[in-house]
């Protein structure tokens, strides 16, 4: 997959909280030696726990920041759609689909896809558990949904609320649909998809507990969520194409994110596969 020109705000490389240029100007990825970039994926040889804000007694950041009174569109119960799928076939048939038809997907399809990626699967002792694993239950990912051709869902940009299994929105970002496609370098799957899911990261949620080991965990979690959604797409007879082909700051602006405390991580284009 082609990667965009990501900006490293915190590099986590040399010292406890990473390194940047002497004047604190953000460092571009192509300015960092490859062997240092690899450190983001590696474990840490010391004990990071005493450096965490969790250990120091700093109050933890709120995980669900969606206002309780935000307008919502309730999604169908994901359990209402029976899926008699052989697990071996599910894995064997997972492929990136880049050509989509103009046929809409259903609200039930979207509901199951979103629940598979980040939905609440259980609640115990006041804590929610989701379908994809998260280190320490910190859940740093937010799920944004661009609905185009989804039956029963008005076109627009939504945010998925796992706690209520609903879509918050819609809103219309500046630049409209063309702005999203431009931010993804004119990607055909993004341009033709019935719906596009973008996961963003709020690193502070995980950094509070795991400090400078957090960022490898966040990257892993984006992979967990996207794979769950990709397998759900196969089970539903849909096509899915995971993408990292986007311009970081352009996509962040389109989504209305500040690009520092929250930024885009992963894109998934969805739709009915085009007939050949």
The CATH number of the domain holding residue 109 is 3.40.109.10
Mean pLDDT of the chain: 87
Rounded CA separation 93/90 (Å)? 5
pLDDT at 112 over 80: yes
Does the structure show a pLDDT above 60 at 14?
no
The pair of structure tokens assigned to 166 is 């609903």
pTM, entire model: 0.86
Residue 7 lies in a domain: no
Instruction: Identify the bridge partners of residue 271 per DSSP, sorted by sequence position.
Output: 239
121: helix, coil or strand?
A: strand
- The pLDDT of residue 178 is 95
Split at pLDDT 50, 70, 90, the class of 22 is: very low
Spatial contact of 194 and 272, defined as CB atoms under 8 Å apart:
yes
Run of H or E residues at 178: helix 176-183
In angstroms, the CA 224 to CA 187 distance is: 23
Q: Are 226 and 266 in contact (CB under 8 A)?
A: yes
pLDDT for residue 13 is more than 70 = no
Let me know if residue 9 belongs to a domain: no
Whether 188 is in a domain gets the answer yes
Residue 249 near residue 259 (C-beta atoms within 8 A): yes
170 preceded by a cis bond (ω within 30 of 0) = yes
Q: What per-residue confidence (pLDDT) applies to 12? A: 29
Q: Which domain holds residue 111?
A: 70-271
Query: Both ends of the chain: CA-CA distance in Å?
Result: 24
Transcribe 71-85 into DSSP letters: -EEEPPPGGGS----
State the pLDDT at residue 78: 87
Q: Where are the strands (E) in 20-109, listed by range?
A: 27-28, 72-74
What percent of the chain stands above pLDDT 70? 91
Q: What's the total number of domains in the chain?
A: 1
Domain annotation covers residue 35 = no
What does the CA dihedral 235, 238, 239, 242 come to, rounded to 10 degrees?
-60
Q: How do residues 170-180 score in pLDDT, each as one tens digit?
A: 999 989 999 99
Q: Which of 87-91, 118-122, 251-255 has the highest mean pLDDT?
A: 251-255
Answer whether residue 8 shows pLDDT above 60.
no
Residue with tokens 């062997």: 35
């Amino acid at each position: 997959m082609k990667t965009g020109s990501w900006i490293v705000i915190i590099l986590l490389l040399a010292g406890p909280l990473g390194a940047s240029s002497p004047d604190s100007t953000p460092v571009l990825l192509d300015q960092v030696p490859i062997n240092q970039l690899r450190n983001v994926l590696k474990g840490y040889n010391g004990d990071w726990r005493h450096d965490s804000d969790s250990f120091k007694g700093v109050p933890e950041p709120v995980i669900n920041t969606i206002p309780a009174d935000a307008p919502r569109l309730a999604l169908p119960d994901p359990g209402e759609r029976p899926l008699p799928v052989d697990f071996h076939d599910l894995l064997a048939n997972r492929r990136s689909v880049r050509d989509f038809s103009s046929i809409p997907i259903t609200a039930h399809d979207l509901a199951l896809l979103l629940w598979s990626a980040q939905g609440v699967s259980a609640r115990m002792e006041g804590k929610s558990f989701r379908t994809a694993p998260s280190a320490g239950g910190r859940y740093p990912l937010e799920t944004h949904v661009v609905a185009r051709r989804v039956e029963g869902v008005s076109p627009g940009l939504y945010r998925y609320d796992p706690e209520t299994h609903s879509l918050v929105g819609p809103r219309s970002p500046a630049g409209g649909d063309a702005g999203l496609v431009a931010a993804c370098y004119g990607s055909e799957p993004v341009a033709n998809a019935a719906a596009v899911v973008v996961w963003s990261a709020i690193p502070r949620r995980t950094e509070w507990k795991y400090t400078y080991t957090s960022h490898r965990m966040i990257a892993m979690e984006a992979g967990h969520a996207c794979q769950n959604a990709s397998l759900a797409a196969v089970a539903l007879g849909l096509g899915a194409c995971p993408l990292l082909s986007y311009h970081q700051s352009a996509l962040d602006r389109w989504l209305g994110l500040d690009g520092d405390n929250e930024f885009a991580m992963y894109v998934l284009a969805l739709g009915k596969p085009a007939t050949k």
